[in-house]
Amino acid sequence: MHREFINLVSETVDEAHSNGINLFYESLENSLNKDTFIKENTLEETLTMLFNESAQAKEDENEVQDIE
């Protein structure tokens, strides 16, 4: 019974370690993609795009509320 418990804990730790590594790589990839996008489009253009999308989303939301 003690060995089964140790095996279960070991499997859980291995799985958690693997998940942690996968999350790290996903985060690293996202960070690199963001950096690359900003370098290609400059920071000013990127911020302009973000604010325009945000403003458009708010306008769309207001239109839906007006219709209701």
Residues 13-37: tens digit of each pLDDT: 999 999 999 999 999 999 999 999 8
Cα 48 to chain centroid, rounded: 21
d(CA 3, CA 10): 10
pTM above 0.75, yes or no: no
d(CA 27, CA 10): 26
d(CA 26, CA 30): 6
Whole-number average pLDDT of the chain = 86
Residue 40 has pLDDT above 70, yes or no: yes
Residue 39 has pLDDT above 70, yes or no: yes
Q: Which residue has the tokens 């489009």?
A: 41
